[in-house]
A and B are shown apart, each in its own frame.
Chain A
Amino acid sequence: MSAAAPAQAGLFDCRDSFARTIEALAEADPRIVTVVSDSVGSSKLGGFRKKWPDRMVNVGIAEQTVVAVGAGLANGGKVPFVSAASCFLTARALEQIKADIAYSNVNVKLIGQSSGVAYGELGPTHHSIEDMAWLRLLNNLTVIVPADPWQTEQAIRAAAAMNGPVFVRVSRMPVPALERSDASFEIGKAETLVQGDDITIIANGTMVHRAVAAAKILAGEGISARVVNMATINPLDEAAILAAADAGAIVTVEEGSVRGGLGGAVSELVTANTPVPVRIMGFPGFVPTGSADWLMDHFGLTATGIADAARQTIARKR
């Protein structure tokens, strides 16, 4: 299947990729249903509703129920894709995700839309920078943070193909399609996009293309930076992270809080095995109001900001 149509020249909204993929899957598998909390438009599921009105369950503005209904639909033999804004889906229904989905270990796919600081101007109530940290802690729950439209499609397909609970974090921030020499996707497997030995930059989601751009800046200075796309944050690709530590220094970059997310996951593993300096890049916590682009610039989540962090971290190598 081809990538989603470009929103801007060369840039893609991964929600389009989600919507297109779920329609293709639903065509082939009548068990697939969507569950929304008044989030049809923001999930780009208008096309799905038109094709299969009876296979979309809209519970209204009720996130606890949207998650619990997903668990019930799975009990009734369906393969439900529960799609809602990640900020409300994960925060408001965290106990339902824990008890009804992860602890009950049921075949529900949770899609956290418009994650990170996509709703920048709307302020921290609408930012979803804690979701990766909260959900990666739950046993049984696979957590995937795809980086571009192709990987979003692969993540949705893999989620549908496996029997068990999955959370896929989908951004609405325009991102380019990544260049890959080996296009393959497997849950729990990281992909190395750029080879390098001086430092490893581990990123996921909207930060991956920025990490690749940072590596290009560093290459121009004679610094060889490896870039690893850690799309699955639970289960973690431990081998890839331990191999990353071989470079002697690590920078992690995520469109999320610096506490507990990708950086936290990498740090836990590295600290216990091959301690090397780890610099965690992300947002410090509640951030000021501003557009997503402004926030990323302000907090250094740019190619130049990542390159700066890489140089500083290399200087801390032992």
Chain B
Amino acid sequence: MVYEAQLGHPGGDFSAADILSALYFGVMRYDPSKPNDPARDRFVMSKGHCTGVFYSVLAAAGYFPEADLSTYMQPLSRLNGHPNRNYLPGVETNTGPLGHGLPVALGIAIAGQIDNADFRTFVLTGDGELQEGSNWEAALTAGHRKLRNLTLIIDRNRLQQGARTEETASLDPLDDKWRAFGWHVEMIDGHDHAQLLDVLSVDPATRDKPLCIIANTFKGKGVSFMHDNVAWHHGVPNKEQYEQAMAELV
């Protein structure tokens, strides 16, 4: 769809693909025919520019026909460049500007805490996105309230739009930062489904803290010329590159 639209953020799509697959096809409770069911688990896509992977997973999960993917970013399409909850079932909140997802997910998790409900709230942020201060406001309150029903997954691909995160405004030691804010931290290989399913499936009742999963990933995972390459933050493939990528991915 990125090739068709000649727009998108394929690098970040590929780094998050295994994470979203594990969530939607291994962990989360949802019914696409009842997208507003109060008991559903919530997923908040904070890295809202990575709609390529998000829409693909929502379609595969049954929220809308896969044929709609070919309308990605076309005029009047429901599949905006950044997700819109009012157009598309399965989108919990409109994102795009960075640093919004975790604070909104925090509010969802607090609603569940007030009601003693058993739904879980998952949020995926990029790592460069953590340079937005709003995340740390939310981190503070989530730790303070011991929100065990809240899970943050950081797509730790170490690249942001312009350069490596550690060259821009370094984040390491990232695990210590979250622990200091009162979170339980797991560091995993974000492309290893077994590891993802293991940490995501632990019963939240067994901990008294919000969970932060630092998922080490590679931007452009699965496509040799995109792999760990900053140029593919929002690059789009030409015909030869598209054919090569499809051949490598299949």
Contact = CB atoms under 8 A, between A and B. Distances in A.
B104 A76 contact: no
A72 B109 contact: yes
Contact of B141 (A33, A60, A70): A60
Contacts of B92: 75
A104 B97 CA distance: 13
B97 A72 contact: no
B134 interface: yes
Given A65-B138, A68-B134, A99-B95, A104 B85 contact: yes
Interface string B204-236: 000000000000000000000000000000000
B112 A104 contact: no
Contacts of A69: 103-104, 106-107, 110, 138, 141
Given A64-B134, A95-B97, A99-B96, A57 B110 contact: yes
Contacts of A65: 103, 106, 134, 137-138, 141
A59 B141 contact: yes
Nearest to B112: A76
Interface residues of B, number: 32
B93 A71 contact: yes
Interface in A36-61: 54-55, 57, 59-60
A78 B114 contact: yes
A76 B94 contact: no
A78 B109 CA distance: 12
A73 B108 contact: yes
Given A72-B103, A72-B104, A100-B104, A77 B138 contact: no
B100 interface: yes
B177 to A, nearest CB: 17
Nearest to B132: A64
Interface residues of A, number: 30
B115 interface: yes
B107 A68 contact: yes
Interface in B111-161: 111-112, 114-115, 117, 133-134, 137-138, 140-141
Given A69-B138, A106-B93, 17 more contacts: A55-B114, A60-B137, A62-B141, A68-B103, A69-B141, A72-B103, A72-B105, A73-B110, A75-B104, A76-B108, A76-B117, A96-B103, A99-B95, A99-B96, A100-B100, A104-B86, A105-B86
Interface of B: 38, 42, 84-86, 92-97, 99-100, 103-112, 114-115, 117, 133-134, 137-138, 140-141
Interface of A: 33, 35, 54-55, 57, 59-60, 62, 64-65, 68-78, 80, 95-96, 99-100, 103-106
23 contacts: A33-B114, A57-B107, A60-B137, A62-B137, A62-B138, A65-B134, A65-B137, A68-B104, A69-B141, A72-B104, A72-B107, A72-B108, A72-B109, A72-B111, A74-B107, A76-B107, A76-B117, A78-B111, A99-B94, A99-B96, A100-B94, A104-B93, A104-B94
Q: Return the 10 tightest CB-CB contacts between A and B, nearest first.
A: A72-B107, A76-B111, A68-B103, A69-B107, A62-B137, A72-B108, A65-B137, A104-B94, A64-B134, A72-B104
